[in-house]
Amino acid sequence: MAKDPIARWALNHGMYVMGVDTPRAFNASYLDYTLAGGIAERIQCPTLVCDAEEDIFFQGQPEQLYEHLTCPKTLMLFTAEEGAGAHCHPGAMRLANARVYDWLDDTLANTRP
């Protein structure tokens, strides 16, 4: 953390989000999150799963979640060619937001009475 600003940010942010005080506790907190026991299968609302082609943090996990979902679901891939291939799509936020909002428009339009 002392020599790598990206690691420092990631760990400090992670500790804040998870409500823990140490990097070790932050890493251990991941053990509380699993697809075991049919958790994802209990989701009933339409679900959008986003994946970034070059995500260095959660590679493969969006597909795992998508495969477990039994609700209406969409897997949306963002690519490096679009400038959106990194985790959270920082190189193409306008594109990412537009695609997510389009999905919301389409999905919510189909659920209104």
Q: What pTM did the predictor assign?
A: 0.78
Q: What is the mean pLDDT of the chain?
A: 91
Cβ pair 80, 25 in contact under 8 A: no
Kindly give, in sequence order, each residue whose CB lies less than 8 Å from that of residue 55, ignoring residues fewer than 6 positions away.
62, 85, 86, 87
Cα–Cα distances in angstroms (integers) from residue 26 to residues 33, 59, 103, in the given order: 12, 19, 32
Average pLDDT for 24-33: 90
Residue 106: name the closest of 62, 63, 48 by CA. 48
d(CA 91, CA 101): 18
Cβ pair 18, 26 in contact under 8 A: yes
Per-residue pLDDT, 87: 84
Task: Collapse the DSSP code of 66 into the 3-class scheme (helix H, G, I; strand E, B; otherwise coil) and give the result.
Answer: helix
Domain boundaries, the chain: 1-33, 35-113
Per-residue pLDDT, 42: 95
Per-residue pLDDT, 36: 81
Q: Which residues make beta-bridge pairs with 52?
A: 78
